[in-house]
Amino acid sequence: MGGSVLDPRRCAVIVIDMANDFVLPGGVLADAGGPEYQERAKAVIPPISRLVEAARETGVTVIYATDCHDQGDAELRKWPPHSMRGTPGGEIVAELKPRAGDVVLEKQTYSVFQSTEIERILRERGIDTLYVTGLHTDCCARHTSGDAFQKGFGLVWVTDTLQAFTEEAHQGGLDYFKAWYATDPDRQFQTAEQAARAWREAALAGADA
């Protein structure tokens, strides 16, 4: 977890696959999931929005890791074309648009560590703890978490900012994190409110030091 004292500057929020095709009616994967899934996917937008606002206020790096596919990408052997480069479906939902200073990474695989330069960016910035948000708990968030864990990064799963195609799959993803990656579950499973409060308290303590 990057030490016993929380330093927001050593933390990053990873916002995974919050693109139109994953969330909104008319999106390839959103329609595959159906209306009930779409409602749950949209429900994570407000807590993610509050979390990234708190991150920007306190010096936490905000990283968007979003599918950006070309024809021929290996992932498209499994899934229909989605979040294709240059299409509206590949754009991040309007409520979560990146801002200046955020890091935007275009990934072609489940794990952002496999097809982007995220590890170099994190190491250069001295970031050692990742707060995982977005879609899907049991797939891209799971594979990203696994790579991060094995590369030595601390992990926090922001439970109200994650979702999957079904509630059972979402809960199964959380259970998997706890079984295989969590070393201090009481600290590593937080809500957006809890994470934001901790950053603000740490930032205030740092300013007063």
3-state secondary structure 100-132: CCCEEEEECCCCHHHHCCHHHHHHHHCCCEEEE
**Residue 3 in domain:** no
Residue 44 pLDDT: 98
User: Once rounded to an integer, what is the mean pLDDT over residues 65-91?
Assistant: 97
Give the tens place of pLDDT for each residue, 86-136: 999 999 999 999 999 999 999 999 999 999 999 999 999 999 999 999 999
**Residue 176 in domain:** yes
**Residue 71 in domain:** yes
User: Once rounded to an integer, what is the mean pLDDT over residues 159-188?
Assistant: 98
CB 132 within 8 A of CB 138: no
**Residue 184 in domain:** yes
Confidence of residue 5 (pLDDT cuts 50, 70, 90): confident
Percent pLDDT > 70 in the chain is 97
Q: Which domain holds residue 102?
A: 8-208
Give the tens place of pLDDT for each residue, 22-60: 999 999 999 999 999 999 999 999 999 999 999 999 999
pLDDT of residue 207 exceeding 90: no
pLDDT of residue 153 exceeding 90: yes
**Residue 19 in domain:** yes
**Residue 190 in domain:** yes
| Number of folded domains that form the chain | 1
Confidence of residue 172 (pLDDT cuts 50, 70, 90): very high
d(CA 114, CA 107): 8
Contacts 24+ apart (CB under 8 A), 115-119: 116/65, 118/63, 118/65, 119/151
CATH code: domain of residue 201: 3.40.50.850
Confidence of residue 2 (pLDDT cuts 50, 70, 90): very low
**Residue 2 in domain:** no
Q: Which amino acid is at 67?
A: D
**Residue 1 in domain:** no
Residue 4 pLDDT: 63
Confidence of residue 206 (pLDDT cuts 50, 70, 90): confident
